[in-house]
Structure formats: C-alpha cells, structure tokens
Amino acid sequence: MVCHPPHPDSIAGLRHLREEVARRGDECLSLLLAGLDVYTSLGREWELLEIMRKFAHDAEDMVRNTPSADELKRLYEGNGDTSSSAG
C-alpha cells in the first residue's frame, strides 16, 4: 500500500480534533490522536531526509568531475592564447 504525504488540511484537522477531544475530557483518545500527529510529522520529516539523502548521492556524480571556476578560467584563457599564438 502506497501512502501519499498527508494534505496540510488533514494535519490541521487532526490537531483540531485532538484539541476538541481533550476539551471534552477524553484524555486517552486525545493521547492517541497526539501520537498519530507525531507519527505523521515524523513520517514527513523522514521522507524529506530520504529525498535529500538520495539527491546528495545522485548529485555526487554530477559534481565530482565538474571543473572549478579557476580551471574553467585557465581553460578559456588557454584557448584564447593558443589561437592568438597560432596566427
């Protein structure tokens, strides 16, 4: 079963329901709803960390062989010097 990230309105609704239940005095149900809120929040954070970790791993290959600004400048200036000294 694939679960999509919860909609912000759903999270707000869950928190509102927990507050309402707590006002009515049902501490057990309020605690259960608070646990769901924590689980949902941590799940979203964990998913974000996994996305960032995967991107860092994928980006490493892209960045590894990229020339630095100084290398690009030398390459550019070197090409300019080569063409002027050839003529």
Residue 60 covered by a domain: yes
Task: Write the pLDDT tens digit of every residue in 14-25.
Answer: 999 999 999 999
Residue 1 covered by a domain: no
Residue 20 covered by a domain: yes
Residue 37 covered by a domain: yes
Q: Has residue 77 got a pLDDT over 70? A: yes
Please provide the average confidence, as pLDDT, over all residues in the chain: 83
Task: Write the pLDDT tens digit of every residue in 34-75.
Answer: 999 888 888 778 888 888 999 888 888 888 878 888 988 888
pLDDT at 19 (0 to 100): 94
Number of domains in the chain: 1
Give this prediction's pTM. 0.51
Residue 3 covered by a domain: no
Residue 46 and residue 5: Cα distance in Å, rounded? 11
Q: Which domain holds residue 63?
A: 8-86
Name the H helices within 25-68.
27-64
Q: Has residue 83 got a pLDDT over 80? A: no
Residue 2 covered by a domain: no
